[in-house]
Amino acid sequence: MTEDEVVAELESGMTIGIGGWGSRRKPMSLVRAIARSDLTDLTIVAYGGPDIGLLCATGRARKVVYGFVSLDSIPLEPHFRVARQNAAVEFAEFDEGAFYLGLLAAAHRMPFYPTRAGLGSDMLTMNPDLATVTSPYPDADGHHEELVAIPAFDIDVSLVHMNRADAGGNGQFLGPDLYFDDLFAKGAKRTFMSCEKVVPIEDLLDEGTFHTLKIPRLFVDGVVEAPRGAHFTECPPDYGRDEAFQREYAATAKDPEAWAAFRERYVDAPGHDAYLAAVDAREGSGS
């Protein structure tokens, strides 16, 4: 598939789950394809990075659901900061572990999973729809503990980026951390996977052991080959984060003119190849 063919499967108002973590292994070629589409009113569910920042800044997101939104080396995603301070998007902010349970519940088709995270903090104040449940089992004192019920995220489509995949959708991560990409795939009605390189199934064990094959094709509905598809986020061992480019992106949050130019040049580039050409052509680019 191509990025645009994936976007053609999406509809305004959908809830989109996005894998990766912060500014790490984000399916950026797919995110940009959404950003330059005419989709609106999306709900984005992610351990957020520039995916959430871009979809807020381009007006695609109506609501964002997250455990955090960070660029790692820049602790707070600056476009997300602007969206929050302007109240430009609805939001649901979760404790990082509670967010994991929302994904896990989705993957297991459970209505919720219980946790203590949120009790005593303003997580419950900020999410007035969050309910508590009472444990059916007594503790040592005979009391029945009250717990927060984290509801399953209702994800229509998830997007993840892998290092390698075969054409059937078996995905392989070769870096140090899968993050939650398997749960995004299992917890969504449909999942599209981009990857650095599509390889024949016979070659899947050439670069990593079977432990790296954590997303079976059962949970994948389409594969997009996108070399450097996670740029400017990191995708080890294939490449690290493009910190210079990330700084350029981050700086545009404070400067509407710079953002307009960035958007025209990179976000609205007609396709991933055009984007990479623009990235490689920029002043000071080492490549």
Partner 1 sequence: MSTPATIDEVCAVAMAEAFRGDGEILCNPIGTTPIIGGRLARATFEPDMVMTDAVSVLAANILPVGDDEAPRLVEAWMPYRDVFDIVWSGRRHVVMGASQIDAHGNQNLAAIGDWRQPKAQLLGLRGAPGNLVNHVTSYWVPNHSTRSFVPTVDVVSGPGYDRVAELSRFIRDNHEIRRVVSNLGVFDFANDEQRMQVVSVHPGTTVDVVVDATGFELLVPDEVPETRLPTDEELRLIREVIDPDGLRRAEFR
Q: Is 202 in the site for partner 1 (CB under 8 A)?
A: no
Size of the site for partner 1 (CB under 8 A): 43
Query: Which stretches of the chain are DSSP H helices?
Result: 3-8, 28-35, 50-57, 78-85, 96-108, 123-126, 181-187, 243-251, 256-262, 272-281
> Least distance in Å: CB of 117 to partner 1?
3
Q: Is 93 in the site for partner 1 (CB under 8 A)?
A: yes
Q: What element of type H or E holds 104?
A: helix 96-108
* Choices 79-87, 223-231, 243-251, 264-272; region in contact with partner 1 by CB under 8 A: 79-87
Q: Is 143 in the site for partner 1 (CB under 8 A)?
A: yes
Among residues 193, 240, 231, the alpha carbon closest in space to that of 213 is found at: 193
> Least distance in Å: CB of 129 to partner 1?
15
* DSSP category for residue 72: S
> Least distance in Å: CB of 146 to partner 1?
7
Among residues 211, 35, 178, the alpha carbon closest in space to that of 103 is found at: 178
50-69 residues near partner 1, rule: CB under 8 A: 66-69
Dihedral sign for Cα 13, 83, 270, 227, please: negative
Per-position x/- string for 32-51, each x denoting binding to partner 1 as judged by CB under 8 A, each - no binding: --------------------
Q: What element of type H or E holds 79?
A: helix 78-85
Per-position x/- string for 144-183, each x denoting binding to partner 1 as judged by CB under 8 A, each - no binding: -xx-----------------------------xxxxx---
For residue 85, give every residue at least 6 positions away whose Cβ sits within 8 Å of its Cβ, in sequence order, or none: none
* Choices 95-103, 200-208, 265-273, 275-283; region in contact with partner 1 by CB under 8 A: 95-103
| Burial of 49 from C-beta contacts in 10 A (0-12 / 13-18 / 19+) | buried
Binding site for partner 1 (CB under 8 A): 21, 66-70, 75-76, 80-81, 84-87, 93-98, 100, 115-123, 125-126, 139-141, 143, 145-146, 176-180
